[in-house]
Structure 1
Amino acid sequence: MASDQKLFAFEEVEKHNQTKDCWLIISGKVYDVTPFMDDHPGGDEVLLSATGKDATNDFEDVGHSDEAREMMDKYYIGEIDASSIPSKRTYIPPQQPNYNHDKTPEFIIKILQFLVPLLILGLAFAVRHYTKKEQD
């Protein structure tokens, strides 16, 4: 690694996210792994899924061998400008009103919410009416 290291902004690196043009950020370094896409033991999908972000955790989680780490030197093209990496975004799921787990159409639910209390009330009056007649 020469002293005239190229410094890349995150926005530049994230553009290289295709099979024929693939760059990765690992431990603050930028690698052009395009020539390695066909030879990667995990397939090119693994490398493509690590584009557009800091792939350090993805790389370390696999437990690469010393040979694999040495191999990286030939794909090294520069350093990442750490100040250009966006802060992590938190995922906020969309709000869903009243989850309908059995997929009953909404209008049927509204009708039942109205009719069930009426039916219960009617049943209560009927029971009272017939039990009152029997007592007379």
Structure 2
Amino acid sequence: MGSDGKVLTLEDVAKHNSKEDCWLIIGGKVYDVTKFLDDHPGGDDVLLSATGKDATDDFEDVGHSTTARAMMDEYFVGEIDATTIPSKTKYVPPKQPHYNQDKTSDFIIKLLQFLVPLVILGLAVGVRIYTKSE
């Protein structure tokens, strides 16, 4: 493959998404991994699922060895035009109602004020019944 200074767009790279022609974007560089599909330890499906997008995070998350990183040079095609890759959006959690600790505490106190006397009354009746039966 060799470095010939090509600058490719995401659209160009996304066309190469099959077992017969598979290109990946990793670290701003484009690699033709077609010949490596059968030898990839994770299987060809892993590589094929990373086509058509920036696969840098996928590649880094696995924790590839220095040997694997050195092998990449032989598959190098060119650089990616970074302006063609959509920027990542930050996850914003959905709005949720505010948790009011004071209302919860008030509810628990009222519940206990109702239940504790009932438990005491129940114990008193139970003890009285038990002592009468002896």
TM-score range for the pair, normalised by the shorter chain length: 0.5 to 0.7
Q: For residues 26 and 87 of structure 1, what CA distance do their matches in structure 2 show?
A: 15
TM-score (norm 2): 0.63
Q: How many residues align?
A: 90
Unaligned runs of 5+ in 1: 91-136
Correspondence for 2:29: 29
Correspondence for 2:70: 70
One-letter amino acid of the counterpart of residue 45, structure 1 = D
Alignment pair present for 1:43 and 2:38: no
Q: For residues 28 and 40 of structure 2, what CA distance do their matches in structure 1 show?
A: 21
Percent identity of paired positions between Structure 1 and Structure 2: 70
Unaligned runs of 5+ in 2: 91-134
Q: For residues 82 and 59 of structure 1, what CA distance do their matches in structure 2 show?
A: 18
**Cα RMSD after superposing both structures:** 1.8
**Deviation of residue 89 (structure 1)?**
6.8
> Counterparts in 2 of 1:53-92, with a 5 A limit?
53-88=53-88
Q: For residues 74 and 31 of structure 2, what CA distance do their matches in structure 1 show?
A: 9
Report runs of 4+ in structure 1 exceeding 6 Å deviation.
none
Quick check: which one's helix share is greater? 2
